[in-house]
A and B are shown apart, each in its own frame.
Chain A
Amino acid sequence: MTDEIASITPIPVCRYEELTPGRGVAVLLPDGSQAAVFRTFADELYAVGNLDPATGAYVISRGLTGSRGAVPTVASPMLKHVYELASGRCVDGPAGPEPACRLPTFPVLRDNGVVYVLDDPAIPATHDGGKS
């Protein structure tokens, strides 16, 4: 962890074992917005926005994880847009990739068995799967 990151208060999500591999959970952020935290089958952690930009519903956490090549993804349960978990980019959808639809990403940490997200848009997401 860099000093910069340490200066932000991490938001506790839940204990790591509570996360089901291959699924996500919804997280309420202090400002009222929502994040979706995923644990993949490979036991990596990712956090993206919970709002599905294609439909305006807060449902991304209920999507199915998967992969495109070796890149982990989540498919929105609404219209099946597929987003890269690390970058938030929309790489597939009913009419192909939609660059205009993009999920925000959040750094996610695991410390002493507890999972945290960091909510500060000034911080670039680490995209390392949160294995800190």
Chain B
Amino acid sequence: MRILIVGYGMVGHRCASVLAELAAAQPTHGQDGHADPVTITVLSKEARPAYDRVHLTSLFSGSTHADLSYEDPPGIDVRLGEEAVALDRAARTVRTTSGAELLYDVLVLATGSRPFVPPVPGHDLPGCFVYRTVDDVDAIKQYAAERGAGAIGAVVGGGLLGLEAAGALSSLGLNTHVIEFSPRLMPLQVDDAGGSALRRRITELGVTVHTGTRTEAVHAGPEGAAAEMLLAAGHEPTDQRTLGVDLVVFAAGVRPWDALGREFGLELGERGGIRVDAHCQTSDPRIYAVGECAQALDGRVYGLVAPGYTMAETAARHILGLDSTPFHGADLSTKLKLLGVDVASFGDAFGTTAGARSTLYVDENEGLYKKLVVSEEGRLLGGILVGDASAYDVLKPLAGTDTALPGSPIQLLLPPSDGEAVSLGVGSLPDSATICSCHNVSKGALLEAITSEGCGTVSALKSCTKAGTGCGSCVQMLGKLLDAAGVEQSTALCPHFPQTRAELYEVVLVRGIDTFTRLLAEHGAADADPEGCEICKPAVASILASLSGRLGGPKHILSGEQAALQDTNDHFLANIQNNGTYSVVPRIPGGEITPEKLIVIGEVARDFGLYTKITGGQRIDLLGARVEQLPAIWRRLVDAGFESGHAYGKALRTVKSCVGSSWCRYGVQDSVRLAIDLELRYRGLRAPHKIKAAVSGCARECAEAQGKDIGVIATEQGWNLYVGGNGGFRPRHADLFAKDLSEAELLRAIDRFLMFYIRTAERLERTATWIERIEGGLEHVRDVVLSDSLGLADELDALMRAHVDAYADEWRSALDDPDTLRRFVSFVNAPDTPDPSIKFSTEREQIRPLLSIGRRPEPAVGPAGDRKDLVNAG
């Protein structure tokens, strides 16, 4: 079957993806039973891969084209920049702009829509734009940049799209105006009062709003480009006024792009759009139409992406002869953030149902407007939320159902206050309510998984039902659902220990327990298998290492039973890489290194054939070492005065620094010396997760200290301390913790902060998440560290002293211990044979792992940060 898709927007792309996936899963057969392979061809008018149009505005805030791009589905023929120009339904061919005649068995029209530009004089002058494609965005950005900051931008249209465009212009620094013909903003989604609440909020953000205003003309300036708009509030000449502009964006709505259907005789809807049935089939059964170019069975043209996706899936399944859910229409509920303001509208927002009654909550001080519409019987029909849409997730699934509201409508709208807050929890939702929209999982299905399948944790629910594995926005709801179902969510570390990590730390500290076996025997779960697991063993090993100074003096992390507890990275004191080799990272405190030592690193890398790369933490990574090479590499490094950099451990990694006052003409303090001091003080300190630090010698912050767990920035008077910064998957700026500290005060504050973190954080919890989770937050931590509110300071100080005194280089200790070295062999039965599976190719004059067959391709989507944490946290 030859399937031709015309249009490669979000819906066209989804349709192609679903078809490709279904066709690959079950090869279809012709009617006479013989094999009929599916071929899929897509014509894309835009000369770029399909992309996420919904997040177009993010291009103004730093996203790149690549961020928005979608991958082509496998095995399909995508023809970019090639448009359909003619359709011959009898011959079943489509002619394209390249002159090709493409034969089809099934044609899918997914041509989308085009921006509607009111036919006012001057609408096509230079400086007038529409807001639909990546090219439009690029053109607006370039034109705005040429005009400079403070230029005036006007958006014609105060609906959803118009406000998106206004947000974009505003983010470019333009003086932004919104011109809306109807008397309020977002006329399709909110009512008059909601519109004025929205208007107030947006006006506060510096956007000028003109409602009830027509655009009569755009006039050119002396350069021939748009320079002035003629606006009119009424029909008298005195109602007219002008607005000086540099740039005009028309975002006054869209029209279905139905030209192919129109010219070649498919039935159309009254107001445009190719008419389709519940399977998205047009009046020609070999032609389907999906998304914004189609008029659905209920007479509407859907401009939102979710109904478009539903149509794409319905059509794809029907084309391949599979069961498909008929598409009769869709819900137009929306929740979005426009210019930073929450706006949500759902169900019968305008109260058009007979007998509908509204309850309103308006707070002009806070810019809040909330409205619930209920039926005569008191059932929720719909609502509007402006300024705070947090109740949307729970209210929307209730709308239009027969479920009684959990309180009076006004109680639901009032901000919670002591004693009278009505629980608007997940418990009040009907079983039919959709909790996960990405995978269409209902509350009932989740409850079923909890009761029948025994899912007792969020992760069990995720793997059982797929809920929460799409955009992830419902994950919190999953937790609440478990609570509501009476499932006590365990805070246990793992099945072997009922305690949290912080509780285990206290047990080890107070009872002085120094082995895993004893801890498990005395404090583990009653029925715990003595084996432990990959969760509790490294976690306990880390606690024992953090407290090793306290538990009877220096003890190597690989000594005795502890050897069996460590993850492979800690076990081999190196970071495992994708081909089973390891990386070696010697400590270079503060990033300062002598030429002699640099030469040693170069010689070691050359002699052992290692790949070298400079890391982000101002040191040098040597990659590609086989297990049996590690001791020899360390020997060379240790002899030259290097030590382990703990790149493999949940421990202090580096203290990065700028060059500081010794060289820099702006520097006010010696940041390099302080960074070295800090790195040597905290080296080897085991923690719930890795710790990164940096010191900047002046407020220009070249060491990027505010992105670290511990950040220090020099001031004229001393040092400012920042804590809780984080790069990675979810970046977080560090919070200012204390100002103008002397060096002694600084060290004391960091000592206590780190020890308090190590004591109270959960497993694999960075300081950033710890500060956000811990009760009392940053203020509480500050009280403990700076004002000793818990009376812990002396103990925290003593613990850090014990750590500093007990420190020993882990590589050197390993080299001195024959028992440990014995483990560094390729094969226990063939120690002289290197692992034959490790092979390298050459790339840019260095080695690169050749991965064995059978290795899976990298996942197409997925946060790299997560994987890094899993693989080597390096």
Contact = CB atoms under 8 A, between A and B. Distances in A.
Interface of A: 11-14, 18, 20-23, 25-28, 32, 34, 37, 40-42, 51, 53-59, 62-70, 72-73, 75, 77-80, 82, 94-97
Ranked 4 nearest A-B pairs via Cβ: A66-B533, A22-B564, A56-B855, A96-B463
Contacts of A56: 851-856
16 contacts: A12-B829, A13-B829, A18-B828, A28-B833, A37-B828, A55-B856, A57-B852, A58-B580, A58-B838, A59-B576, A62-B571, A65-B564, A69-B495, A75-B533, A77-B567, A79-B871
A106 B381 CA distance: 64
A58 B827 CA distance: 11
A26 B572 CA distance: 14
A123 to B, nearest CB: 19
A62 B533 contact: no
Given A13-B828, A66-B537, A78-B871, A58 B837 contact: yes
Nearest to B576: A77
B40 to A, nearest CB: 27
B125 interface: no
Given A22-B537, A26-B826, A54 B564 contact: no
A65 B450 CA distance: 29
A119 to B, nearest CB: 12
Most buried by A among B495, B534, B823: B534
Chief secondary structure at chain B's binding surface: loop
Contact of A80 (B571, B829, B870): B870
Contacts of B829: 11-14, 27-28
B576 A41 contact: no
Interface string B828-863: 111001011110000000000001111110000000
Nearest to B517: A41
A99 B726 CA distance: 36
Given A66-B533, A79-B870, A80-B534, A57 B579 contact: yes
B565 interface: yes
B541 to A, nearest CB: 10
B833 A22 contact: no
A35 B790 CA distance: 53
Interface string B531-573: 1111101100000000000000000000001011101110110
Nearest to A54: B856
A27 B828 contact: yes
A59 to B, nearest CB: 5
A59 B564 contact: no
A102 to B, nearest CB: 13
Contacts of B472: none
Contacts of B580: 57-59, 62
Interface of B: 463, 495, 517, 529-535, 537-538, 561, 563-565, 567-569, 571-572, 576, 578-580, 822-823, 826-830, 833, 835-838, 851-856, 867, 870-871
A23 B563 contact: yes
Contacts of A94: 870
Contacts of A68: 495, 533
Contacts of B838: 58
A67 B529 contact: yes
B571 A41 contact: no
Contact of B531 (A26, A59, A72): A72
Contacts of A27: 827-829
A20 B871 contact: no
A48 B837 CA distance: 17
B841 to A, nearest CB: 15
A22 B520 CA distance: 14
B578 A57 contact: yes
A132 B61 CA distance: 67
Nearest to B569: A77
Most buried by B among A57, A67, A80: A57
A21 B515 CA distance: 14
A21 B565 CA distance: 10
B854 A20 contact: no
A32 B836 contact: yes
A37 to B, nearest CB: 8
Given A66-B534, A72-B531, A26 B576 contact: no
B564 A41 contact: yes
Contacts of B823: 20
Given A21-B564, A27-B828, A56-B853, A78 B576 contact: yes
A59 B855 CA distance: 13
A25 B561 CA distance: 16
B707 to A, nearest CB: 27
A41 B827 contact: no
A66 to B, nearest CB: 3
Contacts of B532: 22, 41, 66-67
Nearest to A59: B580
Nearest to A117: B829
Contacts of B517: 41
B108 to A, nearest CB: 32
A111 B653 CA distance: 46
Most buried by A among B535, B829, B855, B871: B829
Contact of B529 (A51, A64, A69): A69
Contacts of A77: 567-569, 576
Most buried by A among B463, B529, B571: B529
